[in-house]
Amino acid sequence: MNSEKARTCRKWPLCPPDSFLDEELRTLQDRHLYRKVRAIDRTGAVRGILDGRSLCLFCGNDYLGLSFHPEVVGALIEGARRYGAGAGAARLTSGHASVHAALEARLAAVKNKENALVYSTGYLANLGILTALAGPEDLVVMDKLCHASMVDAARLSGAAIRVYPHRLYRRCEEILKRSPGFRRKILVTESVFSMDGDTADIAELIRLKEKFGCLLVVDDAHGTGVLGRRGGGAAEDPAQSEKIDVVMGTLSKALGCLGGYAAASSKMIDYLTNFSRPFIFTTALPPALCAAALAAVDVLERNPGLFESLWRHVRRMREGLTAAGLSYEPSESPIFPVMTGDEAEALRLSQTLLEAGFLVPAIRYPTVPKGKARLRLTVSAAHSDDDIDAFLAALRCSLKSI
């Protein structure tokens, strides 16, 4: 019996059609996996108010503090006055403005590519890139820890999917060797892994891409503003960038705004413009946000001090964590996972830190694999040395008390 027939022939117990809601939510609560949004009114890049209490945030992706930078905020306000609050239509109808084109040209230059295509979010960019490049005749090969947006994209594309253990490129090579007969093979990785903070070996992936004739897509969401000699990300080196077929990025992390993009050859961007459904069938990113993102790129390029502060803080945090018995050698990014494994323990640690005035939510399945719960600490250029020292003191106490 095929699975469709098996589903429809099986006798399901008669119950109200929404009874599964309570059941599923209760199961999540029992497993310490239940989640709820909390209103945190940010008052600065790393400050916020929760239930009337002022908190210092060690959990965001605003690595350079640009979401509150006066030039970025000013460009957003001025952009809204000039262009309105929204784009009013999809890009291929009347939603495309010259500021979208200006932002795309700028992002292409940052990533050493001929052109770029802006999407409404980074999630949609990944969905748009992979579903345009891959179909049922193709193979997507990805790192086990690739972000959910890439996993969802690969599934939606209908391609065969093979996953190699995290950063185990020998296994990636074996998979490629043992996978003849596909129309296209697409290698997918993050540059900085969002929940672990370590980095991919892009040079090795380029070697594999060339050996097996694959396309290489690199999600540089957490690399932009963070990696390279001046925050250009995984594609800062033109020689390396040339070998990456599509560099995906977001405007929502170190650039402090919202939106995603693909940077690639002009031909690839032309192709994505025509075949990328999450680009075609949605309203364009508001032009005011394009103006803000342009200002953020300007600030990043004109203020190398921000990038230097970020890395000074990364080193300070790493040294403090090492002194507390947690090892992160070498620090590859501003992301530090404090592993608890157990979900309930991650929640307790997060709550103890909250009581001390620091917000670091517990990260649990399905964001990370089951049994790999953690706190995901991040530092920003916007923290002060005192913030980091106070946080480390609170963390040491919290680790003793849980």
Q: Which residues are at the interface with ligand PLP (CB under 6 A)?
A: 121-123, 126, 147, 149, 190, 194, 219, 221-222, 250, 252, 260
Catalytic residue among 222, 313, 372, 383: 222
Coil/strand/helix, residue 247:
strand
Nearer to ligand PLP, 284 or 394 (CB): 284
Which residues lie below 8 Å from residue 176, measured CB to CB, with a gap of 6+?
141, 185, 187, 208, 211, 212, 214
Catalytic residue among 100, 253, 313, 383: 253
Which residues lie below 8 Å from residue 139, measured CB to CB, with a gap of 6+?
159, 160, 161, 162, 179, 182, 184, 185, 186
Nearer to ligand PLP, 296 or 395 (CB): 296
Q: Are 260 and 289 in contact (CB under 8 A)?
A: no
**Type of residue at 241:** S
Nearer to ligand PLP, 138 or 219 (CB): 219
**Polymer length in residues for the chain:** 402
Q: How far is the CB of 121 from ligand PLP (least distance, A)?
A: 4
Separation between Cα atoms, residue 312 and residue 199, nearest integer Å: 19
Assess whether 98 carries a catalytic annotation: no
Catalytic residue among 194, 241, 309, 350: 194
Nearer to ligand PLP, 20 or 281 (CB): 281
Assess whether 166 carries a catalytic annotation: no
Q: How far is the CB of 219 from ligand PLP (least distance, A)?
A: 5
Give, as one character, the DSSP assignment of residue 363: E
Nearer to ligand PLP, 200 or 394 (CB): 200
Distances in whole angstroms, Cα of residue 308 to Cα of each of 167, 252, 312: 27, 20, 6
CB closest to ligand PLP, residue no: 122
Separation between Cα atoms, residue 283 and residue 86, nearest integer Å: 9
Q: How far is the CB of 236 from ligand PLP (least distance, A)?
A: 18
Assess whether 222 carries a catalytic annotation: yes
Q: How far is the CB of 194 from ligand PLP (least distance, A)?
A: 4
Separation between Cα atoms, residue 183 and residue 198, nearest integer Å: 32
**Type of residue at 272:** L
Q: How far is the CB of 369 from ligand PLP (least distance, A)?
A: 16
Phi–psi pair at 116, nearest 5 degrees? -145, 160
Q: Are 290 and 135 in contact (CB under 8 A)?
A: no
Tell me which residues are annotated as active site: 194, 222, 253
